[in-house]
Structure 1
Amino acid sequence: MMLRRNQPLLAQLLQRAPAWGPRRKSHLAEEDVVPFARAVIGTFFQGQPSLGNQYLEDALLRGYLKRHLPPQVFAEANQDLQRFGARVSGEILNLGQECEAIPPRLQQFDAWGKRVDLILTCPAWKKLKRISAEEGLIAIGYERKYSNWSRVYQAAKLFMFSPSSGMFICPLAMTDGATKVLQVTKSSGPPGEAFNHLTSRDPKLFWTSGQWMTERKGGSDVAHGTETVACKQDDGTYKLFGFKWFTSATDADMTLALARIMDAQGSVTKGTKGLSLFFLKLRDEQGQLNGIEVQRLKEKLGTRQLPTAELLLDGAQAHLVSQEGRGVATIANMLNITRIYNSIGAVSCMRRIVVTAREYATQRFVFGKFIKDHPLHTQTLARMEVQVRGGFLLVMELVRLLGLEETNMASTQDSHLLRLLASVAKLYTGKQVVATVSEGLECFGGQGYMEDTNLPGILRDSQVLTIWEGTTNVLALDTLQVLAKSQGQVMQAFSASVQEKLASASDRSELASSIQCLQEALGRLALQLEKLLGQGRTSMEMAARDLAYTLARIYIGALLVEHAAWAEASPSDIYASQRWCEQDLCPLDAAQQAGCYEADALCRDMDLVYEGSPTYKTKESAQASQKTVV
Structure 2
Amino acid sequence: MQVRPFNQPAPRLGNQYDEDRVLRSVLARRFGGEVPAAVAEPLREMGRLAGGELYQAQLDDRLNEPRLVQWDAWGNRVDAIELSPLWRRAERLAAEYGLVATGYEPGHGALARTVQFALVHLFHPSTDLYSCPLAMTDGAARTLLESGNQALIERAVPHLTSRDPARFWTSGQWMTESTGGSDVGASETVAQRDGERWRLWGRKWFTSAATSQMALTLARPEGNGPGGRGLALFYVETRDDAGRLDGIEVLRLKDKLGTRKVPTAELVLDGTPAVAVAGESDGIRRIVPMLTLTRTWNSVCAASFMRRGVALAMDYARRREAFGRPLARQPLHVQTLAAMQAEYEAAFHLCFELIHLLGRAEHGEAGEDERALLRLMTALTKLTTGKQAVAVSTEAIECFGGAGYVEDTGLPVIVRDAQVLPIWEGTTNVLSLELLKACGDGVSLEVLRRRLARCARAGTDDRLVAAASVANAAADRALAWYRRAAESGPEALQAQARGFALTLGRATALALMCEHAQWSLDHEQDARARAAALAFATTRIDLLDAIEPDDAKLLVE
Q: TM-score, normalised by structure 1?
A: 0.86
Task: Report the CA distance between 1:219 and its aligned residue.
Answer: 1.8
Task: Report the CA distance between 1:144 and its aligned residue.
Answer: 2.6
Checking the alignment, whether the CA contact within 8 Å between 2:296 and 2:354 is kept in structure 1 is yes
Amino acid at match of 2:497: A
Pairing partner for 1:521 from 474, 489, 500 = 474
Deviations 1:413-464 (A, max 9, x none): 1111110011111111111011111011110011001111110011100001
Match status 1:257 vs 2:212: no
> Higher RCO, 1 or 2 (CA under 8 Å, sep at least 6)?
2
Pairing partner for 1:494 from 443, 448, 457 = 448
Task: Report the CA distance between 1:70 and its aligned residue.
Answer: 4.3
Checking the alignment, whether the CA contact within 8 Å between 1:100 and 1:304 is kept in structure 2 is no
Task: Report the CA distance between 1:191 and its aligned residue.
Answer: 5.2
Task: Report the CA distance between 1:352 and its aligned residue.
Answer: 0.4
Q: Take 2:487 and 2:77, find their aligned partners in 1: how far apart are those partners?
A: 61
Q: Take 1:107 and 1:134, find their aligned partners in 2: how far apart are those partners?
A: 29
Q: Take 1:191 and 1:436, find their aligned partners in 2: how far apart are those partners?
A: 40
Checking the alignment, whether the CA contact within 8 Å between 2:71 and 2:78 is kept in structure 1 is yes
Pairing partner for 2:496 from 543, 546, 561 = 543
Q: Take 2:152 and 2:278, find their aligned partners in 1: how far apart are those partners?
A: 14
Question: Residues 305 and 327 of structure 1: is their aligned pair in 2 closer, same or farther, counting only changes over 3 Å?
Answer: same
> For structure 1, which segment, 247-256 or 73-82, has the greater mean C-alpha deviation from structure 2 after superposition?
73-82
| SS in structure 2 of the partner of residue 102 of structure 1 | coil
Match of 1:166 in 2: 128
Q: Share of identical aligned residues, percent? A: 42
Match of 2:334 in 1: 378
Q: Take 2:465 and 2:360, find their aligned partners in 1: how far apart are those partners?
A: 30
Gaps of 5+ in 1: 1-32, 611-630
Match status 1:608 vs 2:548: no
Aligned residues: 554
| SS in structure 1 of the partner of residue 421 of structure 2 | helix
Checking the alignment, whether the CA contact within 8 Å between 1:210 and 1:247 is kept in structure 2 is yes
What pairs up with 1:364-513 in 2 under 5 angstroms? Answer: 364-484=320-440, 487-505=441-459, 507-513=460-466
Task: Report the CA distance between 1:255 and its aligned residue.
Answer: 0.4
Q: Take 2:335 and 2:482, find their aligned partners in 1: how far apart are those partners?
A: 35
Question: Residues 504 and 88 of structure 1: is their aligned pair in 2 closer, same or farther, counting only changes over 3 Å?
Answer: same
Task: Report the CA distance between 1:297 and its aligned residue.
Answer: 0.7
Deviations 1:374-415 (A, max 9, x none): 100010000000000000000000000000000000011111
Gaps of 5+ in 2: none
If you compute each CA radius of gyration, which structure gives the higher value, 1 or 2?
Answer: 1
Q: Take 1:583 and 1:299, find their aligned partners in 2: how far apart are those partners?
A: 36
Match status 1:233 vs 2:194: yes
Q: Take 1:120 and 1:538, find their aligned partners in 2: how far apart are those partners?
A: 48
RMSD value over aligned CA atoms? 1.4
Q: Take 1:584 and 1:604, find their aligned partners in 2: how far apart are those partners?
A: 23
Q: Take 2:475 and 2:35, find their aligned partners in 1: how far apart are those partners?
A: 35
Checking the alignment, whether the CA contact within 8 Å between 2:472 and 2:511 is kept in structure 1 is no
Task: Report the CA distance between 1:510 and its aligned residue.
Answer: 3.1
Deviations 1:321-371 (A, max 9, x none): 122212111100000000000011111010000010000001111111111
| SS in structure 1 of the partner of residue 431 of structure 2 | helix
Deviations 1:549-574 (A, max 9, x none): 11111111110110011022521111
Match status 1:108 vs 2:70: yes
Checking the alignment, whether the CA contact within 8 Å between 1:95 and 1:125 is kept in structure 2 is no
Checking the alignment, whether the CA contact within 8 Å between 1:401 and 1:418 is kept in structure 2 is yes
What pairs up with 1:55-454 in 2 under 5 angstroms? Answer: 55-70=17-32, 74-97=36-59, 100-190=62-152, 192-224=154-186, 226-234=187-195, 236-262=196-222, 267-454=223-410
Question: Residues 285 and 333 of structure 1: is their aligned pair in 2 closer, same or farther, counting only changes over 3 Å?
Answer: same
Deviations 1:523-555 (A, max 9, x none): 322322222223322111011000001111111
| SS in structure 2 of the partner of residue 245 of structure 1 | strand
Q: Take 1:351 and 1:382, find their aligned partners in 2: how far apart are those partners?
A: 12
Deviations 1:221-248 (A, max 9, x none): 1112x111111112x1111111100000
Checking the alignment, whether the CA contact within 8 Å between 1:349 and 1:433 is kept in structure 2 is yes
Question: Residues 432 and 241 of structure 1: is their aligned pair in 2 closer, same or farther, counting only changes over 3 Å?
Answer: same
Match status 1:44 vs 2:2: no
Q: TM-score, normalised by structure 2?
A: 0.97
Checking the alignment, whether the CA contact within 8 Å between 1:108 and 1:116 is kept in structure 2 is yes
Question: Residues 190 and 491 of structure 1: is their aligned pair in 2 closer, same or farther, counting only changes over 3 Å?
Answer: closer
Checking the alignment, whether the CA contact within 8 Å between 2:148 and 2:278 is kept in structure 1 is no
Task: Please list every run of at least 4 consecutive aligned residues from structure 1 whose deviation after the TM superposition is greater than 6 angstroms.
Answer: none
Amino acid at match of 2:250: V
Amino acid at match of 1:237: R
Checking the alignment, whether the CA contact within 8 Å between 1:186 and 1:192 is kept in structure 2 is no
Pairing partner for 2:509 from 549, 556, 562 = 556
> For structure 1, which segment, 540-549 or 184-193, has the greater mean C-alpha deviation from structure 2 after superposition?
184-193
Q: Take 1:606 and 1:448, find their aligned partners in 2: how far apart are those partners?
A: 39
> For structure 1, which segment, 93-102 or 319-328, has the greater mean C-alpha deviation from structure 2 after superposition?
93-102
